[in-house]
Amino acid sequence: MNNDTTEQPTRLGYEIIRDHVLPTILGKHENEILYWAGKDIARKFPMFSTDELPAFFSEAGWGQLTFSSNKQPKDEAWLILQQPDLTVLEKRSYQLEAGFLAEQFQKLNGYLAECYAEKQVKKKQIHFIVKWDTKTTV
């Protein structure tokens, strides 16, 4: 047996915790708690630019994140998360990722920010809309 290798958690193990254990424990407060947990994760893993976000999502096992190519208002960012598994897409809360994005943009822009997740089932995507208030600095 080679002691130099480290075991990586399986995708199944991650999905069991994310899609079954957490919803059971958190119950009706799942979305709110996951959003604030995402903000806390962002504070512990700060990005130095928005360019780092796709790599972090990939490394965390959250999926492939891209910036929308559509023209966006100056106080918003639109991002797209690919989710090829429709079963996961329909059942999973994406508030953990939304909270993470809100906190990262808040830190990077210096303005109070919020993020909304919209499931696009037919496209197998989650659209994140990050909005910040240029009148409220943090």
Confidence of residue 52 (pLDDT cuts 50, 70, 90): very high
Closest CA to 101 of 65, 75, 138: 65
Residue at 75: amino acid letter: D
Residues with Cβ < 8 Å from 15, sequence gap 6 or more? 88
So what's the pLDDT on residue 11?
A: 81
* E strand or H helix at 65: strand 64-67
> Whole-prediction pTM value?
0.90
Query: Based on the number of CB atoms within 10 Å of its own CB, is 79 exposed (0-12), middle (13-18) or buried (19 or more)?
Result: buried
- Condensed to tens digits (0 to 9), the pLDDT of residues 63-105 reads 999 999 888 899 999 999 999 888 889 999 999 999 999 999 9
Kindly write down the DSSP assignment for every residue of 83-136, as one continuous string.
---HHHHHH---HHHHHHHHHHHHHHHSEEEEEEEEEEGGGTEEEEEEEEEEEE
> Which two three-digit tokens encode residue 103?
């906190």
Is 90 exceeded by the pLDDT of residue 120? yes
